[in-house]
Amino acid sequence: MQKPKISIAKKGNVKGEDGHRIFSVRIKEETVAALDKIANDSNRSRNELINIFLEYGVLNYEIIE
């Protein structure tokens, strides 16, 4: 079964949002490189992309017991 893809629209140069919390995570170098490429291609920050991917995961998960 093919997983649905996340669509990321290119963004203009608008910055600054409130209502976020800051915390640290460890990420593999390969994942950082992939995020940086997507960030460059979409004109978004790495942080914005991580939030998009996390939100998608939170809304589209399944716990298997």
Task: State pLDDT tens for residues 11-36.
Answer: 765 555 567 788 899 999 999 999 99
- Cβ 43 vs Cβ 11: under 8 Å: yes
Range of the domain at 53: 29-59
Asked, for residue 36, whether it belongs to a domain, the answer is yes
Residue 13 belongs to a domain: no
On the question of pLDDT at 59 being above 70, the answer is yes
Q: What total number of domains does the chain contain?
A: 1
Q: Is residue 48 part of a domain?
A: yes
Is position 24 within any domain? no
Has residue 54 been placed in a domain? yes
Whether 16 maps to a domain, the answer reads no
Q: Are 61 and 4 within 8 A, CB to CB?
A: no
42 pLDDT above the threshold of 90: yes
Distance CA 62, CA 11 (A): 30
* Report field, pTM of the whole predicted structure over 0.85: no
Q: For residue 34, what are the CA distances in angstroms to 17, 39, 42, 63, 64?
A: 24, 9, 12, 27, 28
Residue 35 domain-assigned (yes or no): yes
Q: With respect to residue 42, please indicate whether it lies within any of the assigned structural domains.
A: yes
